[in-house]
A and B are shown apart, each in its own frame.
Chain A
């Protein structure tokens, strides 16, 4: 394994964030998605096998259960992954399974998700904590609707790093043109979803080519990283840059003289002496101490589980959020959100649900606005029940004030789940997109009635524009055509004469 940032940049787009000088050693959480026959189980099995994550007794159990081996003398990897008896009986993956493997450089947590359309909800579960998505495509079939669907959900859940694994590449004679075609098509699609970090890798999971070990003899023209090298170079999402956020999980009062607020820092950083606000009340105080088991700390950053001591007696309860005075989150009764419906009953308009975000649980009613048509990527107006697996834009109305960031700004304070008050089951996962004005109007300003602007741009410039968050958030209002320079010139000539 000799990954370098230079090699990787061959396939990462030029405007991707440069690889960090200091390698990130935190565990990378990734999700693998693919259609049913793209070879996902074989790929993960190969990853575990070649990184020595499968032990001899597990391999023996596998060999016993699979009976026949494939022509490479390897066991049936799917049996390694599908741990439930029902899955083995039906030969499909039903639920998310978590796998662990490590290289010399980093450790990885893989959420292995089902490929079937009816288990979209389980894919959303796996995607919610992932930093990177590996999307599989069969080199013979190219991008399927299911691949696009998975990419769309992954992007929606906030994943901003994609690896496209063009698998079964041995079956197309390692044809470079096929790889270029599929990866270009995917790159365009991913850009339109707002994803800028894209690495495409030609591979054969079955033969172990470009998974852990490079396949330079079979594909001398490919200079990019193997899958494992790409994963080693990926970055873990960090929310240290934004404002300080501490959702209070618990008030610790071991004695009269001590009162500490316990929680996990969900954004930014804090040090003794900093001024903070307690939301939603808005009370102000200063940080006196950061207490942890490992002595008193000088500072804490996003991800740290801490106990915060303030300099004065203030009313702080579980569910409150302690924040920095600069860059405060949104506080209000009405928010816009996107959500994934997770249960057979769907999400009903007007019904009162429990909403949990951070350590805060409160009553909310839901008003569906539109639904994502996964085959086209368009949002269609939709005000009725959001059925299971549907992705919808909704309005949230709270009975008491709620505190959120947008999901784009902060994955921890912008995410929520909905709980059905009758079954107490988790029925949706959601992401805050905006706060609504007090009068109920749409927060963002829309362009004037019916007016459109036609731009003609060089392809590379257009791609950068399409990759912006703003563009991605309003992609449903745009129309894109790819043309030659000559065709574009003709359109503009014709358009000019119409005015």
Chain B
């Protein structure tokens, strides 16, 4: 599968990464060569194989739903590039 320039633009939109127009061409080339490499898997018939979903042979344990931390608002906000006392600040989303 070749990843053309329109596909590059589409997936970078989905991934929320803006791209310079001059980068699109080289990305299309790189991603196409990676996808060609990946597609060697098509030679392998996997119709009767069940997919591996967990590498450890144990199901995830459940635990009691109790609060063990919390009250760490200031710690959570500490690394925010923009904040006021209690909130993260983002560009206006409602007109």
Partners in one complex: no
A interface residue numbers (CB < 8 A to B)? none
